[in-house]
Structure 1
Amino acid sequence: MFRSSQHKQILENLTTAVVMLDGRLCIEYMNPAAEMLFEASARRLRGKPATDWLANSPEELKVLQESLETGHPYTKREARMMTLGGHELTVDYSVNSISQSRGERSLLVEVEARDRLMRIEREEELLTRHASARNLVRGLAHEIKNPLGGIRGAAQLLERELGDEELHEYTRVIIEEADRLRNLVDRLLGPRKLPQLSDVNIHAILERVCSLVSAESGSWLHIQRDYDPSIPEFEGDAEQLIQAVLNIVRNAMQALERSGTPEPLISLQTRALRQITLGTERHRLVCCVIITDNGPGIPEHILNNIFYPMVTGHADGTGLGLSIAQSIINQHHGLIECTTEPGETQFKLFIPLEHHHENLR
């Protein structure tokens, strides 16, 4: 298969995953990078057909067969492949046909995982969009609050000048509505004070949220817990973190109640993740809080905008809960992600466990 041991040594030291397929499209060779990517040893996968890792895509297999027969190389972007453990990967791969002895052909497949790069790009976009939205809201809030103060002050002066007590009702309406708009703007801005840092236990925070939600929902909602006890304490603002988690759990509870989901369930999981990139920064250890409900899911047309202020999927909602939650987790140098489909909506809160408190804003 290799013309020299030097060729094999080069392949063994590549960081790119390389797989050799024989004339039956079965795995003949994998380098160590491919073993890591597909979560299996070359010995275990040798002789396995391509269907075991191409997500059983007939189109992919057809193109591989055509390349084997014609000798034409090709490249596939964002294809789906499977690890031996059943995990689906998004990859780019290139295929080149190699002539062997006795006229036989093999396929050299170079595979590059795209999942991590796609996630980094998605997180960078999410953080950028959220920061842009916050700046827009801050500017808008400033422009709204200035005239509101003038309107309220003028109404108070007018009330003093009016001798008829019955006319005071109208000035009070002006004052109350001005106060209501000011409070709405303050809520749009989210938490304005610096986090009050102390050592916090994420499970104590989740238990506090569970007790609050249980008191609100009564007995119709089931809450399932699955905690990782190895997660250490970290420095954060307990009250703000409770608010962030509560906003998400309360949204899930309201969605379950409105939809009339049979056997409504909210699951709270914690996991310790290592070497996780959030945006452009890589963290050695991250606390991941996974909040899952079995409701109807989030409408597709608003899914990409759910962390913007005033974006909501129901008429009586304010659209502020998720925006505030994202702001709080961002203050802790973390990030919230969401995936949804009918019957399952999942929010993942990533909170780095390193000490960044000197930069919290």
Structure 2
Amino acid sequence: MAERRGIAVAAGTTSTTLPAAAHWSEAFDLLATMVAVVQPDGRCLFANAAFENVLGLSRRNVLRRDWFEWFVDPSLLRDTVAAVACNEFSTSRLDAQLKRPFVSPGEPLLVHVIVNQMEQSDVTLVELIEIEQQTRQDREERALDQVRATKELIRNLAHEIKNPLGGIRGAAQLLQMEVESKGLSEYAQVIIHEADRLQALVDRLLAPHRRPHVVGDVNIHEVCERVRALIVAEFPRGLRIERDYDTSIPDFRGDREQLIQAVLNIAHNAAQALGERMVAGDARIVLRTRIARQVTLGKQRFRLALELHIEDNGPGVPEAIRDRIFYPLVSGRDGGSGLGLTLAQTFVAQHQGTIECESEPGRTLFKITMPLP
């Protein structure tokens, strides 16, 4: 493989040189949109970091293949690139579907394609913009606003509950000591028991805000392995946990125990939802790690980010609560407290990260994204 002043070119390509290649490479890699320099014959001379990230492949592998093969229907795009390269148009736009065979679930990505002329003949600059990109950014901003609002709501609500709760329990204890009737004493004991249960719930609500943030070096794969061991110990039969790790992901600074709890809450929910599939013997959870580049989290741009996917083949999140699953006390399972995902979101947010959920019958995917150094 040859290197031309900072732009990687696949082995076997011509010696075409691109002007100011070094600073082009650096500038294009900072873009959130996908950019490629393409010839009409499908030879790709350059692909930026965003293109790598969306395809889930390294730049070297992207450049080895015919660039048009990455699209579901390449004929119109091929004709458009050829027309722009031949100076029939200075620029042209169209919509296309980009294949993503190496990114779960491998579904095509709908993109808006802009093909532009370049000073050099027979070469075009192609920009691909995810049509849902703005929608996703809006969704992330709403999620961050929700985390802040939920945090404040929980803190205020918990304190409002806690103060009268202590008085109720104390009065019930005094009443139990005063009454002689066994029946009345049992009623007082019920009040004490329920007050203790509510106290435990309040403590769980306040736990992430009370617990100190213990920062140290964290290896995400050690976190995943710890969660995997705990899930396997609780569900030893009928459940397969697959690991799909990118071992090149570096360690980062964070609270290891908080992250274990966040991932465990999600994985444990997934395992509980797989009851019927465990009986059938085909229950599956996938733990997948990937690197993302040029990611915006909380209106801040990060050069590198970690993506952790927790995917299962269960029945999916009920549609009625799909938009509210991170709200406190919202649960799709009988007997669930509705706090697991709320706490997971809080712990991830404390690491400047976000959690997203995609769900349909047969596939539920939770994606945790956190910045890397």
3-state SS of the aligned residue for 2:290?
strand
3-state SS of the aligned residue for 1:290?
strand
Query: Which structure 2 residues correspond to residues 97-112 of structure 1 after superposition, within 5 A?
Result: none
Tell me which of 64, 79, 82 is aligned to 2:98.
82
Bigger Rg, which one: 1
User: Is residue 2:228 matched to residue 1:218?
Assistant: no
User: Is residue 2:156 matched to residue 1:139?
Assistant: yes
User: How far apart in 1 are the matches of 2:349 and 2:260?
Assistant: 14
3-state SS of the aligned residue for 2:314?
coil
1:102 maps to none
The one-letter code sitting in structure 1 at the alignment partner of 2:241 is I
1:326 maps to 345
Report if aligned partners of 2:71, 2:99 keep a CA contact under 8 Å in 1: no
User: How far apart in 2 are the matches of 1:227 and 1:31?
Assistant: 29
User: How far apart in 2 are the matches of 1:262 and 1:304?
Assistant: 30
User: Is residue 2:346 matched to residue 1:343?
Assistant: no
Q: Deviations over 1:66-85 (max 9, x none)?
A: xxxxxxxx999xx5532698
User: How far apart in 2 are the matches of 1:311 and 1:204?
Assistant: 30
Q: Deviations over 1:16-52 (max 9, x none)?
A: 9899xxxxxx999x99899x879988x966xx7xxx8
Tell me which of 253, 261, 264 is aligned to 2:283.
264
Report if aligned partners of 1:134, 1:189 keep a CA contact under 8 Å in 2: no
Q: Deviations over 1:299-331 (max 9, x none)?
A: 223222111112222222222111111111111
1:281 maps to 300
Quote the offset at 1:93 in angstroms: 6.8
Q: Quick one: structure 1 residues 198 and 181, their matched pair in 2 at CA, closer, same or farther if it must change by over 3 Å?
A: same
Q: Quick one: structure 1 residues 284 and 261, their matched pair in 2 at CA, closer, same or farther if it must change by over 3 Å?
A: farther
User: Is residue 2:309 matched to residue 1:290?
Assistant: yes
2:224 maps to 206
1:310 maps to 329
What is the count of residue pairs matched by the alignment?
A: 314
Where does structure 1 lack aligned partners over 5 or more consecutive residues?
Answer: 1-8, 20-25, 65-73, 96-109, 355-361
Query: Which structure 2 residues correspond to residues 44-193 of structure 1 after superposition, within 5 A?
Result: 81-82=97-98, 88-92=108-112, 113-114=129-130, 115-164=132-181, 167-191=184-208, 192-193=210-211
1:353 maps to 372
1:252 maps to 270
User: How far apart in 1 are the matches of 2:66 and 2:225?
Assistant: 44
User: Is residue 2:244 matched to residue 1:242?
Assistant: no
User: How far apart in 2 are the matches of 1:289 and 1:92?
Assistant: 27
Report if aligned partners of 1:269, 1:290 keep a CA contact under 8 Å in 2: yes
Relative to the length of structure 2, the TM-score reads 0.68
CA RMSD in angstroms, aligned pairs only:
4.2
Report if aligned partners of 1:89, 1:113 keep a CA contact under 8 Å in 2: no
The one-letter code sitting in structure 1 at the alignment partner of 2:173 is Q
Q: Quick one: structure 1 residues 158 and 271, their matched pair in 2 at CA, closer, same or farther if it must change by over 3 Å?
A: same
User: How far apart in 2 are the matches of 1:142 and 1:85?
Assistant: 50
Report if aligned partners of 1:326, 1:336 keep a CA contact under 8 Å in 2: yes
3-state SS of the aligned residue for 1:303?
helix
Quote the offset at 1:177 in angstroms: 0.6
User: How far apart in 2 are the matches of 1:170 and 1:352?
Assistant: 53
3-state SS of the aligned residue for 1:282?
strand
Quote the offset at 1:158 in angstroms: 2.1
Quote the offset at 1:272 in angstroms: 2.5
